[in-house]
Amino acid sequence: MKKILGMGNALVDIMTTVPGDDTLAQFNLPKGSMQLIDADLSHKIVDNIGQFNPRITAGGSAANTIHGLAGLGAECGFLGKIGADKMGQMFKSDMEKAGIKAHLYTSNTASGRAIAFVTPDSERTFATYLGAAVELAASDINASVFSQYDYFYIEGYLVQDHNLIETAIKTARNLSMKVVIDLASYNVVDENRDFLRRIINDYVDIVFANEEEAKSFTGKEAEAAAEEIASMCEIAVVKIGKRGSIIRQGDKVFRAGIIDANCIDTTGAGDLYAAGFLFGMITDQPLDRCGYLGALLSGKVIENIGGQISAEGWNDIRKELQK
């Protein structure tokens, strides 16, 4: 089985179910928003939400994907930067417990954390302190780490650091690795469109995007966007919500539906889709089967709070795969 290295923001996810909107108002967080916050506000929030028994796990987009791959039995690693603190040690321990090789640099800056408030209507509001995570730099890219893997997976939230991304991708390419990128967010695409078009044309093999990201990247709706992206790389995957996903390789088009799921929290849905799809790729499955595996993991992660699949969800997945 081929091995995958993921690179992304090393964040500790703090998932908190709150009884109403009052807690959001207390910290001046607009409901449904994704706010970047400073260290002081981050510490203040963490000190005040203990009463809600938050669930704390290793998180961040690429880390969620790598966790999913590890759960399926893939050999994988994660490259990121943490602080020399309790949160950083928790992140590292959670990754290693899952069987993931943690290639983590350490900073004197506090570890990043993404605090998510889930209200009774299932709406999510994020307060994110990036901390040490954003200090990962081009100088941290080491070919000896990359040489241990066959695929290189990047979360789009890192794309603002062009030097880091280009250095990492060129390192992977020089080692004949497959390069995969998830576009992450339409606003990231808006701000970095020219750079993304160049690196995808020149270096990337597989692109994941949701409908909004694909439209931001190409100016086109999902079907036409998948066609354009596929003209720039080997495989384009456009996720279209409840309608499933479009997978395009050259002139070949595949569609994957969704599984029946009791949606509680959509955190990690796209990340776990990528995990299932890439597991199919590294085990030489046909593309429609890759799409099904993506849908299966995506459907299971939204049945609980947070970006990782529950033990019960993994039992269901294994039963399904045995069929």
Mind giving me the DSSP string for 178-190? EEEEE---HHHHH
Alpha helices in 123-174, H assignment, sequence order: 143-146, 162-174
pLDDT > 70: percent of the chain: 100
* 213 pLDDT above the threshold of 80: yes
pLDDT at 321: 86
Angstrom CA distances, 295 to 51, 178, 280, 313, stand at 35, 22, 12, 13
Place of tokens 């099904």: 292
The answer to the question of residue 146 being in a domain is: yes
Whether the pLDDT of residue 31 is over 90: the answer is no
**Both tokens assigned to 222:** 């999902």
> Does residue 173 have a pLDDT over 80?
yes
Q: Is residue 15 part of a domain?
A: no
**63 located within any domain:** yes
> What confidence tier does 185 reach under pLDDT thresholds 50, 70, 90?
confident
pTM: predicted TM-score of the whole model, two decimal places: 0.92
- The CATH code of the domain that includes 74 is 3.40.1190.20
The answer to whether 182 and 156 are in contact (CB under 8 A) is yes
Q: Is the distance from CB of 182 to CB of 155 less than 8 angstroms? A: yes
Cβ within 8 Å of residue 123, ≥6 positions away: 31, 32
305 vs 299: which has the higher pLDDT: 299
Helix, strand, coil fractions of the chain, as percent rounded to 5: 45, 25, 30
Within-domain flag for 45: no
- Residue 22 inside a domain? The answer is no
98 domain residue, yes or no: yes
Strands in 252-256's sheet, in edge-to-edge order, are 101-107, 76-83, 4-7, 151-155, 178-182, 206-210, 235-239, 245-249, 252-256
Name which residue leads in pLDDT, 145 or 311.
Answer: 145
Beta strand 245-249 with 235-239 is antiparallel
Q: CB 175: neighbour CB atoms within 10 A?
A: 14
What confidence score (pLDDT) does residue 35 get? 86
pLDDT at 278 over 80: yes
151 located within any domain: yes
Range of the domain at 275: 4-10+59-110+132-182+258-322
CA distance 172 to 252: 27
Q: What percent of the chain has pLDDT over 90?
A: 76
In a domain, residue 196? The reply is no
Task: Decide: 65 and 275 in contact? Cβ < 8 Å.
Answer: yes
pLDDT at residue number 38? 93
Q: How far apart are CA 218 and CA 234, in angstroms?
A: 17
Average pLDDT over residues 4-30: 92
Q: What's the structural domain count of the chain?
A: 1
Length of the chain: 323
pLDDT at residue number 34? 77
